[in-house]
Structure 1
Amino acid sequence: MTTAETATPHDNAADAYLDLLKRCLTRYDGRQIFLGPPLTKPRTMEQIERGRFAHQDADTMIGWPRLDNVRHCVETVLREKVPGDLLEAGVWRGGCCVFMRGILKARGVTDRTVWVADSFAGFPEPDTGRYPDDSVYDGPVAREILDGFGYPIAIGLDEVKARFTSYGLLDSQVRFLVGYFADTLPQAPVERLSVLRLDGDMYQSTLESLEYLYPKLSAGGFCIIDDYSLEGCRKAVEHFREAHGITEPIEKIDWTGVFWRRTSR
């Protein structure tokens, strides 16, 4: 949805709810800051909408195009009955997972789980010996960049749960995988996935997520990569796809997000 489309009437209550949920999660109504205090750092409304920066109190960083993509993917697998749960690896304040749970709620789906996977303690220490592409995260320059966002990157589990609760969406269909991906994902009790969304930024985190979770993605399911504009993340995706003979075309979402649909297992 673009700014010019924000006044379009909705066909039903579910669509209206999901559009309102998107606005609340981003604190942006299509024209100005919505349900939030003024910005503490200078940003344009286009930057907020496109997910280049977030409002300092927003529940998600990813912006409208990537949220719309999540909705497209989730509603497609529901409509086509592609089996499996929904999982995001790397969740920040949990807003994208809140949106996933909201979609299930709006569509009356009670037999799928939203998995929320994160360290809830920030990035792991870069293992530059094994993953030299993550050397960019090892040093003061990386810290300066992260500090420049104007909001914390490491968000604790209690805060993420509180944000689910504020939307009335923390229930038995939301489950948390707490810890670094190398420790939690190999033995995660996830049987099958229909939507896999990766937002780990680093080469290591992206590769580990793909190695442990992609085999659980159903044919017809979607793999979404949030950080494809980052060289390390992009290389991890390319190396994994090449190693496993994945040829489904990568589709662009916006300036940093991409996705593809798994066509076979």
Structure 2
Amino acid sequence: MFGDFPISDDYKLWREDKQFLDDFNRMSPGNPYSQDRKWTLREYVRLSNALPGELAECGCYVGTSAFFIAQASTHGKLYLFDSFQGLSDPDPADTSVAADVMPWSAGDLSTTEATLRHNLSCYDSIEVLPGWIPERFNEIAELRFRLVHIDVDLYQPTRDSLEFFYPHLVEGGFIVMDDYGFKNCPGATRAADELAAAQGTRVLLLPTGQGVITKR
């Protein structure tokens, strides 16, 4: 209560979007914890629709974020990069100083390419490029991007993704990082801050835990 006036997260309009909630629950059954991040990502895709260029995602897991990217996009192809072997080996930059954080291990968050393709079978503007980041980035080196979603949790693949995609962003384009503001992903935070400092820009930290870089 604020005085006699009730304040509640339940009053947020996005929580009344039945189609979004139905899609989210179908893609992530029993896991409501990233609804706000998926909604925010979808809104950035909608903003990017005013720009030329393609879209990409680094670290797509079972395809929930990719589903909402493809759903919101009005043009261009969505390129998806994932090892389908889980995380690579963490390095020292990925060790959190927080006592309550479980450390990452190689192979965490593994899934199959077949699962991803099944979940995204309703979209035909998607290209899946399996392999460790950045092995297959050279295949899209001639393209320009309006939005890139990075969700790889660890320092080195985050850095590799940022170093490749930032120069390939169109002016006004966005890099949305899923794990920038989480204490269990210190390597991802460090990689983004290093890239921003080198480029003379900054990362916008959102209350969802996401971080956003806008190309100026």
Same-fold status (TM-score > 0.5): yes
Of 93, 108, 112, 2:62 maps to 93
Aligned residue number for residue 119 of structure 1: 83
> Aligned partners of 1:17 and 1:23: how far apart in 2?
10
> Aligned partners of 1:125 and 1:189: how far apart in 2?
26
How far off is 1:146 after superposition?
A: 9.0
> Aligned partners of 2:139 and 2:89: how far apart in 1?
21
Aligned residue number for residue 59 of structure 1: none
Question: Between Structure 1 and Structure 2, how many residues are aligned?
Answer: 200
> Aligned partners of 1:156 and 1:77: how far apart in 2?
29
Of 184, 204, 209, 1:250 maps to 204
Percent of aligned pairs with the same residue?
21
- Post-superposition Cα deviations, 1:171-223, rounded to whole Å, max 9, x if no partner, equal 1x101121011211244356111111111111001000001111111111111
Say whether the 8 Å CA contact 1:84–1:218 is kept in structure 2. Answer: yes
Of 232, 236, 247, 2:191 maps to 236
Question: CA 1:221–1:257 in structure 2 vs 1: closer, same or farther (change >3 Å)?
Answer: same
TM-score, normalised to structure 1's length?
0.67
> Aligned partners of 1:91 and 1:257: how far apart in 2?
15
Instruction: Verify: 1:216 aligned to 2:168, yes or no.
Output: yes
Question: CA 1:6–1:91 in structure 2 vs 1: closer, same or farther (change >3 Å)?
Answer: same
Question: CA 1:6–1:26 in structure 2 vs 1: closer, same or farther (change >3 Å)?
Answer: farther
Question: CA 1:7–1:159 in structure 2 vs 1: closer, same or farther (change >3 Å)?
Answer: closer
Please tell me the root mean square deviation across aligned C-alpha atoms, in Å. 2.7
> Aligned partners of 1:195 and 1:225: how far apart in 2?
11
Which structure 1 segments of 5+ residues have no match?
11-15, 28-32, 34-47, 52-62
Say whether the 8 Å CA contact 1:69–1:253 is kept in structure 2. Answer: no
TM-score, normalised to structure 2's length?
0.80
Aligned residue number for residue 72 of structure 1: 43
Aligned residue number for residue 155 of structure 1: 111
Question: CA 1:18–1:135 in structure 2 vs 1: closer, same or farther (change >3 Å)?
Answer: closer
Say whether the 8 Å CA contact 1:89–1:117 is kept in structure 2. Answer: yes
Aligned residue number for residue 6 of structure 2: none
How far off is 1:119 after superposition?
A: 0.7
One-letter amino acid of the counterpart of residue 201, structure 2: I
One-letter amino acid of the counterpart of residue 260, structure 1: I
How far off is 1:76 after superposition?
A: 1.1
Aligned residue number for residue 40 of structure 1: none
Instruction: Verify: 1:26 aligned to 2:45, yes or no.
Output: no
Aligned residue number for residue 212 of structure 2: 259
Highest RCO, 1 vs 2 (Cα 8 Å, sep ≥ 6): 2
Question: CA 1:92–1:242 in structure 2 vs 1: closer, same or farther (change >3 Å)?
Answer: same
> Aligned partners of 2:172 and 2:214: how far apart in 1?
6
Aligned residue number for residue 206 of structure 1: 158
SS of 1:177 mapped into structure 2: strand
SS of 2:88 mapped into structure 1: coil
